[in-house]
Amino acid sequence: MKKSNIIEPCCINGQLPEVMGDRRHGVFFSNGDWGVKQLMGAISYMVEEHATVVLLMPSVDVYFCRMIREWLGRGWMDCLILGTKEDCGELIKAEFAGYEDKVTYCYRKNLHTEAFIRYNDHQRLAVFGAMRMEGNYEFCQYSYSRNESQEEWDLMMKTIRSLFVKVRKNDGSIR
């Protein structure tokens, strides 16, 4: 029997890794009944420690920021690059006080791409689709890419990093 690529909220931790398997590219779907926290929890292990996380989202809330801060504190990720469509600058500043060297943030009112990207020197994972705090019960398609060649990955990341050109770190680089 062929497995479904509609990921259910009850089973995202098992279904999503199974759908992804060892394939480099693919698609899956959601009925909009799970959010970005569940997505991250289900697949973050596919890229081990010393990971950079990039999130492009409409907005974040205090609870999500605290979850990310906890992940940073536990060493589950080394740094966060976050872009939102809604201006969340004050919330980000307050919630990530003490983590300024690990968080790069930008607000872009023209942001229409949503993504969860996690990578390190030898593993790469990118998921594009709706990245919402909570499910909103809209049918959504997601695409993913895993362990692309360094050249393909650099091409994709160059474009995403360009979103943050005005938010360079003190040393002039963006992770």
Q: 53 lies in a domain?
A: yes
* Residue 21, pLDDT score: 87
Q: 78 lies in a domain?
A: yes
Q: 59 lies in a domain?
A: yes
Name the one residue in this structure whose structure tokens are 């997505």. Answer: 39
Could you tell me the CATH number of the domain that includes residue 94?
Answer: 3.30.870.10
Name the one residue in this structure whose structure tokens are 């680089």. Answer: 173
**C-alpha–C-alpha distance, residues 108 and 85, integer Å:** 5
Q: 146 lies in a domain?
A: yes
Q: Does the pTM exceed 0.85?
A: yes
Q: 14 lies in a domain?
A: no
Give the ranges where the chain is alpha helix by DSSP (H): 12-20, 36-43, 62-74, 89-95, 150-161
Q: 170 lies in a domain?
A: no
Question: Which residues are paired to 55 by β-bridges?
Answer: 82, 116
pLDDT tens track for 35-79: 999 999 999 999 998 999 999 999 999 999 999 999 999 999 999
Q: 15 lies in a domain?
A: no
Q: Give helix then strand counts, H and E, for the chain.
A: 5, 7
Domain with 139, as residue range(s), is 25-163
* Residue 2, pLDDT score: 55
Residue ranges for the chain with pLDDT beneath 50? 1, 170-175
Name the one residue in this structure whose structure tokens are 């990093």. Answer: 161
Q: 171 lies in a domain?
A: no
